[in-house]
Amino acid sequence: MDMTYSPASGTVQASPVGATPNAEGTFFRVWAPEARTVDVLLEGNETRFPLQPEAPGYYSGVIREAHAGDRYRFSIDGGEAYPDPASRYQPEGPHGASEIVDPSAYIWSEVEAQWPGVSIGGQVLYELHIGTFTPERTFLAAIGEFARLREMGITVLEIMPVAEFAGTVGWGYDGVNLFAPFHAYGRPDDLRRMVEAAHQHGLGIILDVVYNHFGPDGNYLAKFAKDYMSGKGTEWGDAINFDGDNSLPVRQFFLANVAQWISDYHFDGLRLDATQSIYDDGAHGTHILVEIGRQVVQSAGGRKTIVIAENEQQNATLIRSGEDGGYGLDAVWNDDFHHSAMVALTGRREAYFSDHLGRPQEFISAAKYGYLYQGQYYTWQGQLRGTSALDVSCRAFITFLENHDQLSNVGRSIRVRLISSPARYRAVTALWLLGPGTPMFFQGQEYGAETSFHYFAGHRGHLAKAVSRGRAEFMSQFASLDTEEMRPHFADPEHEATFARSCLDPAEQNRHPEIVALHKDLLTIRRNDPVLTSQICGPLDGAVLSDHCFVLRYFASDKQDRLLVVNLGPDLDLPHAPEPLLAPPAGCDWKLAWSSEWPEYGGSGSSIPNRFGAWQITAECTQWLVPQPAVRPFQAEPPRTGVAKKPDDTA
């Protein structure tokens, strides 16, 4: 099998490496540029099957005796044998033998053939971790939750990394066999069944992938080629070699991985982890992130796709179109919105929250412009942060109150709802879900889960101790946690109890119906309100009304503007309202259509703004107002001249 690769287009037409069954047996291909010989060793067969060299540094060949289901390793120069770097399945983990898998053997349904894919506009994302999402911790078990999520209003699932990693539990960001789904979650066809089931429920599904480093245990790539790694450092180890010597085959390896997830598994796109640690100096003419985006589109075969990036540096180039000099990705995680929301919800401003105040202007600016830091000085890092994003559509910013990182980093990894007042949490939730960004839930958040979510891993020996020590050092940036009082409560990532506390409890799904109703009703408004759906990225403005209160106005034609009033302080009376955004469209009054303080959400009732009197804003409340025809036409009073009539004046 030959691979077709074009650096100009940045796509691969077929997997350049791995084991692929065909009519003649199985075709093997591996990149080992420093090897003199490469042999395939099949379990249960004492014969060594030599592969033939081909430029530049590949070895390949068809072995008639090898078939789907067989297990194998590669032997370099007649020595020790190692699992395939592009193995499609590692049934005994990263240190075991690889299994030959035929991706074409899975029969997709007719419904799948009609699936159109998804684009970023109008989506509601849901991040989940297979290993903690259900008690069974498998791909197939996750399917049982899909109908509930779709009925709630979720539209796209974002699956945390599933590439094979060492240990029995983990987040997945230390993957070492990037082509192999983690064996404890199920077989490759189980993953395909999960993707297909998502589509059958009307859900898009994208996969979180890690293209900035490999995990520290079970990584045998250096046995085949030292040039997989660049020597450039990241927080988690050596960075990938996308721009140095011998880097073209490395790029091909990762683009083949992209192609597999999209074409062989039918994922609707990818979420790219920590893109600030994906280094490419332009040696190949096109940045690897551009090539990844193109590969996703090309591999989807006409289906719509989504590519989301995490980027700590807040570089808007990632989401600017190619015509405007950008990389053309679809969206980025917006940490700024989260940080301001966390300060508003909890009042805590430690560590990387210290440059946020949680004040009204921050939320107005986040709604209008996405990132809050677009080139200003950032005290926490002692440098400028971000680049200008004023021209970027607001739908390109993924907003959230919880995600796997932020939930695990806050306090004792307790759910945000439990460390804020109930009313304030409801108010900020409404701001988030009725805002113009693309919202993302974290698993369990939709029903008010009280289970924590910690960083956990399943390493052994010295590596386990090093991971525990590193996590403790990371958490020490939060001064309130680095105390004699709090250190005993540190959740050691290598303790089994840390993982157990992070698993969702299905019994909680019916424990807080008011939280379920809150999220479901807000998502219904988001989905059905004609102004919100058509103008989600259209004309929008906002104004600060007090130290704790602000308004966002969505402008629309035909006098159908919408008003979002958010108060995060005490009851507020505005007898004077010298703010044009509060004025209703001509001939209309404002009507309260929804309030976060309605009793069905656990609230205490909401005051209704009166056009002819004071605006009365309920404490810690968000209100959604729509125009209605005025009850009576507005009649101006005679002008006051400031001169009183004498008692005996006559007309």
Q: What is the pLDDT of residue 236?
A: 85
Rounded to whole angstroms, how far apart are CA atoms 369 and 540?
10
Q: Please name the residue ranges forming H helices in 476-554.
A: 496-501, 513-528, 530-534
Cβ-proximal residues to 182 (8 Å cutoff; 6+ apart), any chain? 130, 131, 162, 163, 164, 165, 172
Nearest-CA neighbor of 242 among 232, 234, 427? 232
Same fold, 5-102 and 535-629: yes
What's 611's DSSP letter? T
List the chain domain ranges: 5-102, 535-629
Rounded to whole angstroms, how far apart are CA atoms 280 and 543?
42
Q: Specify the DSSP element, H or E, that contains 72.
A: strand 71-76
Hey, what are 496's tokens? 């089994």
Q: What are phi and psi of 19, to 5 degrees?
A: -120, 125
The answer to whether 197 and 190 have CB atoms below 8 angstroms apart is no
CATH number of the structural domain 535-629: 2.60.40.1180
Rounded to whole angstroms, how far apart are CA atoms 368 and 355?
19
Question: Among this protein's residues, is 273 annotated catalytic?
Answer: yes
Which of the following is catalytic: 158, 227, 273, 402?
A: 273
Question: Among this protein's residues, is 102 annotated catalytic?
Answer: no
Phi-psi region of 186 (alpha: psi -120 to 50; beta: other; left: phi over 0): left
Q: How far apart are the first and last CA of the chain?
A: 103
Residues of the chain with pLDDT under 50: 1-9, 13-14, 636, 643-647, 649-651
Nearest-CA neighbor of 526 among 584, 593, 460? 593
Residue the block writes with tokens 């080992």: 32
* C-alpha distances in Å from residue 19, one per residue of 162, 220, 353, 614, 639: 20, 17, 47, 73, 87
Rounded to whole angstroms, how far apart are CA atoms 52 and 49?
10
How far from the centroid of its chain's Cα atoms is residue 289's Cα?
A: 17
Task: Provide the 3-class DSSP secondary structure of residue 334.
Answer: coil
Taking residue 392's Cβ as centre, other Cβ atoms within 10 Å add up to 23
Which of the following is catalytic: 310, 336, 492, 597?
A: 310
Pairing verdict, β 71-76 and 572-574:
unpaired
Cβ-proximal residues to 449 (8 Å cutoff; 6+ apart), any chain? 415, 443, 504, 505, 508
Rounded to whole angstroms, how far apart are CA atoms 149 and 570?
35
Task: Provide the 3-class DSSP secondary structure of residue 7.
Answer: coil
Residue the block writes with tokens 């525990």: 468
Q: Please name the residue ranges forming H helices in 68-153.
A: 110-113, 130-133, 139-142, 146-152
Is residue 47 packed enough to be buried (19+ CB in 10 Å), middle (13-18) or exposed (0-12)?
Answer: exposed
β-pair partners for 99: 71
The answer to whether 366 and 340 have CB atoms below 8 angstroms apart is yes
Rounded to whole angstroms, how far apart are CA atoms 314 and 651?
71
Q: What is the pLDDT of residue 575?
A: 81
Rounded to whole angstroms, how far apart are CA atoms 320 and 372?
17
Nearest-CA neighbor of 430 among 568, 593, 595, 551? 595
Beta strands in 532-617 (DSSP E): 540-544, 549-554, 562-567, 572-574, 588-595, 615-617
Q: What are phi and psi of 507, to 5 degrees?
A: -65, -20
What's 111's DSSP letter? H
Q: Which residues of 73-88 are buried (b: 16+ CB within 10 A; e: fewer)?
A: bbbbeeeebbbbbbbb
| 248-259 and 288-299 helices, crossing angle to 10° | 30
* C-alpha distances in Å from residue 411, one per residue of 255, 408, 477, 484: 38, 8, 11, 15
CATH number of the structural domain 5-102: 2.60.40.10
Q: What is the 3-state secondary structure (H, E, C) of 343-388?
A: HHHHCCCCHHHCCCCCCHHHHHHHHHHCCCCCCEEECCCCEEECCC
Rounded to whole angstroms, how far apart are CA atoms 54 and 77?
16
Nearest-CA neighbor of 195 among 157, 154, 160? 157
Phi-psi region of 625 (alpha: psi -120 to 50; beta: other; left: phi over 0): beta
Q: What is the pLDDT of residue 2?
A: 39
Q: What is the DSSP string of 150-181?
A: HHHT--EEEEPP-EE-SSS-B-STT-SEEEEE
What's 457's DSSP letter? B
